[in-house]
Structure 1
Amino acid sequence: MESLSTPPPTGARDVRPVLEAHGIRKQFPGVLALDGVALRLFPGEVHALMGENGAGKSTLIKVLTGVHPADGGTLVVDGRPHTFKDPLQAQRAGISTVYQEVNLCPNLSVAENILIGREPRRFGLVHWSATRRRAAGLLTELDLGLDVTSLLGSHSLAVQQLVAIVRAVDVSAKVLVLDEPTSSLDREEVAQLFALVRRLRDRGVAILFVTHFLDQVFDLCDRVTVLRNGRLEGEYPIGELTPVTLVQRMIGGELATLDQLSDRGPAEGTGRAAGRPFLQARQLTRTGSIEPYDLDVHAGEVLGLAGLLGSGRTEAARLLFGADSADAGEVSIEGEKVLLRSPRHAIARGIAFCSENRKSEGLVGELTVRENIVLALQAARGWTRPLPRARQDEVAGQWIQALDIRPADPEAQVRHLSGGNQQKVLLARWLLTAPRLLILDEPTRGIDIGAKAEIQRLVARLAGDGTAVVFISAELEEVLRLSHRIAVLRDHRMVATLTNDGTVTPDRLLTTIATGTDS
C-alpha cells in the first residue's frame, strides 16, 4: 500500500491539509468496507477519489460527512480531531456534500432552495426581499445568471446541481464533496459545472470529486486518491498518471478485459442473425413521450440507442417492455402482432428490461441478494407457486459466481452492495428468465471501469449466444464498441439508424445527434 508521501499542490508547499483522514476503518455485517484508509485534502485543489465499485468510495464519503461513524481511525479538520455523529456536525465543521441525486425542493424557488433554513428574518418572519437579494448576490459572486424567483423544478438537472453547490458553499464550506455530479449531464452542462468548480477551487475550497469518467479526472483534478478493496492503493499528482496507469491502479492487474473490448470491432464474433427480426415496432408512439418510430431487432444483434439525455431513448425502450402504454402503432414478435399492455405480457414473450433507475424501478433494497435475483422468476411462476428455497439458493449461488457479485453472500441486503454489484444483481434477475430480448438502459452508468468491462463482455457474449439486445448508453464510445446498428434519437424522434460497419465514428454520431440527419 502506498503512503501519502506526495507533496501538496504546487504553490502551496506550506499549506497544511484542510482535511486529513488516517487509518479509517468501517465494518458492516459480513463486510469490511474500509480497512485503514487515509486521505488528505488541500485548500484550493480538486482531488479525485477513484476505485472500482466496492472499493470503499461511498463508505469513505459517508464517514467524512457524518452519515456513518468510523469504527477506527482519526479524522482531522483544520488541525483539530473530529468525530461526526451526524451530517449536521460535519457541515458545522465545514464539510458539505452534493450527491448525484439532487436533494432539493423543486416546488420552491431558487432563492428558497439556496437559503432554506437560513433565511434572513425580521420580527421573527422570513424577510423575503432580503432572502432574494442574498441568493442573487451568491449567484453573482459565482458568475451564475439565474432568476432567483423561478421555481427550481423549472430548470434542468444541471442547473439544479449548480444550485445545490451554491447552497453547499454558502454554509461556510471548507470542503465540498461532489459525488458523481456529472452522471446525468451532457457535455455543455458538464462544462458549466466544471467552470463553477474551478471558481470555487480558486477561492480556496478543497473539492473532493468522485466520478467514473476518466477524462473528467484528467481535465479537472489536481490529484487523485485510489482505493481498492477497501484499502488505500495510493495518492498521486494527476500529472504523474495516464488513463492506463490509473486504471491499472484501480483494478490491481492487467487490463486484459479492457484490451479485449477496445481492440476489437463492435460486438465482434456475436453471430448476428439475418432474416426476419425477432421484434418489429411500426409507428409506435406515446403522446408527449416519443414520436412514431420504426425499429427492428434481430436475434444475436446488439442494437444501440444513442442520443442526448431527454432525446427519447428510455421512452422508446419502455414501450417495447409494456412499462408505458403506446397510443398508436404495433409490435410484432417473430412476425406475430402482439399487445404489450404491461411488463408481465412482455416477460411472457421473452422480453426483459433493466431500468436505468435501478434503485427506484429495479432492486428492492430491503431484500437480500437471493430474493432480488429470484424476483422475476417468481413473478413469472405466479405467487401461488412459490419457488422452493433450495432452488432459490441454487440459482442465486450460480449467478453470484457467474457475475462475480461481491460480497458473495446471497443473504446480504442488496442496499449494502456497491452500485456495480447492484447492477449485476439486477442483470442476474433477468438473465435467470432466459430472455430472448434484453433491454439494457444505462447498465454501466455510475459504475467503475472494471465492472463496466465485465458488463460489456457479458452483452457481447449474450448476443453471441443468440439473444437480441437493445443497449442504451450516454457514452457514445460504449455504444459504438458494442452495437451492430445504432438508432439515433433527437428531441423525442428517431432520426436515423446507422450500420456500425467501421464508418461510424464518434464525430459522425455526434453530428447525427446534433443535426438530426446523417449527412
Structure 2
Amino acid sequence: MNSPILRMLGIEKDFNGVKALDEVSIEVERGKVHGICGENGAGKSTLMKVLSGVYPHGSYDGRIEFEGEEATFRSINDSEAVGIVIIHQELALSPYLSIAENIFLGNENSKRGVIDWNKTNLEASSLLARVGLDENPATKVLELGVGKQQLVEIAKALSKRVKLLILDEPTAALNDEDSDHLLDLIEHLRGQGITCIIISHKLKEIRRIADTVTVIRDGKTIETIDMHGPDATQARIIRSMVGRDLNSMFPPREPKIGAEILRVEDWTVYHPVDTARKVVDNASFTVRAGEVVGFAGLMGAGRTELAMSLFGRSYGTNISGRVYKNGEEISVRTVDEAIRNGIAYATEDRKKYGLNLIGDITVNVSAAALATLAKYGVIDRHREYKVAESYRTRMNIKAPTVSAITGKLSGGNQQKVVLSKWIFAGPDILFLDEPTRGIDVGAKYEIYGIINELAAAGKAVVVISSELPELLGISDRIYAISDGRITGEVAGVDATQESLMHYMTAGKD
C-alpha cells in the first residue's frame, strides 16, 4: 500500500453554532484518485475549503497532515505553495484574458517586472498539450466551451507543480463527450503520479475513476470504500449517502393523463446573433394534463432554446409558429404573456437566471407572482412570509427560516426554491430544464416526487434532461431533438437509451 499523501484527522467546523463538520477524518493515498460523495449540504465543499486554506488554520478544530508534515495553511496561497490546487465547480477564469494569461495569472513569467510573452506562450502550449487541448494559447477564454475551460483550469494547476489536485463537481456542466475526456485525463494524471480528490454526484463516474471513496453525511464521515473490492456497488454508496436504501431511483407513480393542454405547431427560431442560422426547425409537439413529457438531445440540439423561446420569446429572433392551450391559440410574445397564459420555465442555470442569490427564500418564492400578494400596489409582507414558509415546509427546503439567504443553500435546496417560485405562480404548463443538474441522489428523489405531485394535480410537465436514465424513469412520453428538429417520439414504456440515442443523432455525421 502507498503511503498517504494526505491525512485529515477529526476536522470540526461550525458556523454561528451550526456544526458543518463533525470529527471528519479522511486518508488519501499518494498517486490515487479519492472520491468524496455525499448529499448537498453534507460538508464536502466545506472540508475542501478547510484543506485548501480558504478557511484558515485556527478557524477549525482537528489536524491536517500533508506529506507527513502538519499543515497550517492560512490562505489558499499557502496550500498552493506546497502543491495542493483546488478547481471549484464555478470556474475561476477571466473570460477576456487569453488562455496563457489565465494559466499564469498571479504566477507570471517576468523579469524586472516585464512579462516574457514568448516563454509564457511556449510553456502554455506545453501545458495544453499535457491536458489534450489543441488551442492557440492566445485564444481568449470566452471563446471556449465549458469543457475546454475545465481543461485550462487543470493546465493552470499543472503550472503550479500540483501534487494533490481537488476537483469539485468537474463534470456537472459537461456533456458526455467532454466528461469522458476529462475522466481520461484524470486517469492519465494518476499515471503520472498526481493524486486527485474528486467530488461528484455522478456515481457512475465515481465508480469508473475512483480507487477509494469516502462518504460524508450530515458533516460526519460515514465510511471509506475500496472501489476495487467486491462490495463497492452504487447501491452501497447511495445507502451511505442518504442513510437508507433507495429501492428505486424513482418514486412510484400511476399516471392519470387527461386532455391535451399544450400544442405547439411549426415552431421555428433563429439564432439571436447569427440570424441566418435556425436553432429550432419547424418543431411540433403536444403535452396533456397529468403527463410528464421528456425532451432528449445532445448538447446544442436546441432543447433549451425551444423552451426559452416559448417562454415569452426569452431566446431567439425571427420566431414563427403557433401555440395552443386547451385548443385555443394563445400569444406568448412576452414573459408576462406566457405567465398569464399559465406557462412557467425553470431555467437550467438556477444561479444565473433562476434565483436572486443575495435575496432570502421569501423574496425568491414570491418573485414570479408578486401581484397576487399586493393590494393597491403594496405587497402584504406578512402574507408573503406565510406563503414562503408554507413552501419551505411542503418542499422540505432545509433552511432554519425563510429569511435564509438563497445563495448559501445547497444546490438541491436552491432547486426546490426555484420550483416553489413557479408552483406558487400557479401555472398549468411547466418546462423544467435540467431540474436535477448538480444535485445528489437523495435530493433528486425528492425533485422526482415533486414532479409526480405536479402531474397528479393535472399539470402538464415538460422535463429537459441530459441524463437519459432520468428521462426513462420519469417520462410518459419522450421527444428526441437533433439539430433543432424533433426527430422522434417514443412512449416512456417503450423507450430505451439505444432508441433515444438513434433519434438524438439523426442527421449527425
Q: TM-score, normalised by structure 1?
A: 0.90
Given residue 68 of structure 2, which amino acid in structure 1 is its aligned partner? G
Letter matched to residue 330 of structure 2: V
Query: Is 1:155–2:144 an aligned residue pair?
Result: yes
In 1, the alpha carbon distance for the partners of 2:54 and 2:341 equals 44
Q: 1:176 to 1:465 in 2, by over 3 A?
A: same
CA offsets 1:284-323 (integer angstroms, 9 cap, x no match): 4233443332222222111111111221111111012112
2:175 paired with 1:186: yes
Alignment of 1:6-85 (within 5 A): 11-12=1-2, 15=3, 17-29=4-16, 31-69=18-56, 70-85=59-74
* TM-aligned CA deviation for residue 353 of structure 1: 1.5
Q: 1:144 to 1:348 in 2, by over 3 A?
A: closer
Matched residue SS, 2:221: strand
Task: Check the 8 A contact 2:213/2:224 in 1, yes or no.
Answer: yes
Distance 1:171 1:260, change over 3 A: closer
Report Cα offsets for 1:260-299 as digits up to 9, x if no partner.
53xx6xxx4221124x433434324233443332222222
Matches within 5 A, 1:417-432: 417-432=409-424
- The separation in 1 between residues aligned to 2:382 and 2:485, in whole angstroms, is 46
Task: Name the counterpart of 2:496.
Answer: 505
RMSD over aligned CA atoms reads 2.2
2: CA distance, partners of 1:446 / 1:300 = 27
Amino acid at match of 2:344: A
Change (3 A) 1:81 1:380: farther
Determine the C-alpha separation between the residues in 2 that align with 1:399 and 1:499: 34
Name the counterpart of 1:3: none
1:55-109: CA deviation from partner (whole Å, max 9, x where unpaired): 1112222222222344322222222323333322222232211122322133333
Question: What is the total number of aligned residue pairs between the two structures?
Answer: 496
- Identical pairs, percent: 36
Secondary structure at the aligned position of 1:200 is classed as helix
Deviations along 1:435-483, one digit per CA (max 9) or x if unpaired, are: 1111111110000000001111221221122100110111011011111
Rounded Cα–Cα distance in structure 1 between residues aligned with 2:371 and 2:189: 50
Q: Return the offset for 1:33.
A: 1.6
**How far 1:179 sits from its partner (Å)?**
0.9
Q: Tell me if structure 1 keeps the 8 A contact 2:99–2:138.
A: yes
Match in the other structure for 1:310: 300
User: 1:286 aligned to 2:278?
Assistant: no
User: Out of 295, 299, 305, which is 2:285 matched to?
Assistant: 295
SS of the residue corresponding to residue 239 of structure 1 reads: coil
Cα 1:207–1:194 change in 2 (3 A) is same
* CA–CA separation in structure 2 for the residues paired with 1:132 and 1:260: 50
- Checking the alignment, whether the CA contact within 8 Å between 1:496 and 1:516 is kept in structure 2 is no
Per the TM alignment, residue 205 of structure 1 is displaced from its structure 2 partner at its CA by: 1.7
Within 2, Cα distance between the matches of 1:497 and 1:380? 40
1:245 and 2:257 aligned: no
Q: Which amino acid aligns with 1:310?
A: G
Q: Secondary structure at the match of 2:224?
A: strand
Measure the CA separation in 1 of the matches of 2:184 and 2:245: 35
Partners of 1:212 and 1:32 lie apart in 2 by 23
* Contact 2:264–2:283 under 8 Å retained in 1: no
Equivalent residues of 1:270, 1:300 under 8 A apart: yes
Tell me if the contact between 1:184 and 1:309 (Cα under 8 Å) persists in the aligned partners. Answer: no
Q: 1:83 is paired with a residue of what secondary structure?
A: coil
- Does structure 1 conserve the Cα–Cα contact (< 8 Å) formed by 2:250 and 2:473? no
1:407 aligns with 2:399: yes
Q: Which amino acid aligns with 1:509?
A: L
After the TM superposition, which of the residue ranges 400-409 and 442-451 deviates more from structure 2?
400-409
Deviation of 1:29 after TM superposition, in Å, equals 3.6
Alignment equivalent of 1:208, drawn from 197, 201, 206: 197
Asked if the contact 2:292–2:474 (Cα under 8 Å) also holds between the matched residues in 1, the reply is yes
**Displacement of 1:155 after TM fit?**
2.9
Q: Displacement, 1:151? A: 3.2
Match of 1:272 among 226, 233, 257: 257
Distance in 2, Cα, partners of 1:29 & 1:427: 29
The more displaced of 89-98 and 106-115 is 106-115
Q: Secondary structure at the match of 1:49?
A: strand
Name 2:274's counterpart in structure 1: none
Distance in 2 between residues matched to 1:349 and 1:282, nearest whole Å: 20
Q: Counterpart of 1:221 in structure 2: which amino acid?
A: A
379-388 or 87-96, larger mean C-alpha shift? 379-388
Match of residue 172 from structure 1: 161
Task: State which of 220, 223, 226 in structure 1 corresponds to 2:215.
Answer: 226
2:150 maps to a residue whose letter is: Q
Equivalent pair of 1:23/1:37 in contact (CA under 8 Å): yes
Distance in structure 1 (CA, Å) of the matches to 2:262 and 2:497: 28
Report the AA paired with residue 88 of structure 1: N
Asked if the contact 1:56/1:228 (under 8 Å) is kept, the reply is yes
Separation of aligned partners in 2, 1:20 and 1:415 = 31
TM superposition shift of 1:115? 2.1
| 1:5 alignment partner in structure 2 | none
The AA in structure 2 aligned to 1:239 is H
The answer (yes or no) to whether the contact 2:32–2:211 under 8 Å persists in 1 is yes
Cα 1:398–1:326 change in 2 (3 A) is same
Alignment match, 1:121: 110
- Partner Cα separation in structure 1 for residue 346 and residue 492 of structure 2: 27
Aligned to 1:4: none
The residue type equivalent to 1:420 in the other structure is: G
Q: Secondary structure at the match of 1:35?
A: strand
CA distance in 2, matches of 1:200, 1:271: 51
Runs of 4+ residues deviating >6 angstroms: none
> Which letter does structure 2 place at the counterpart of 1:481?
G
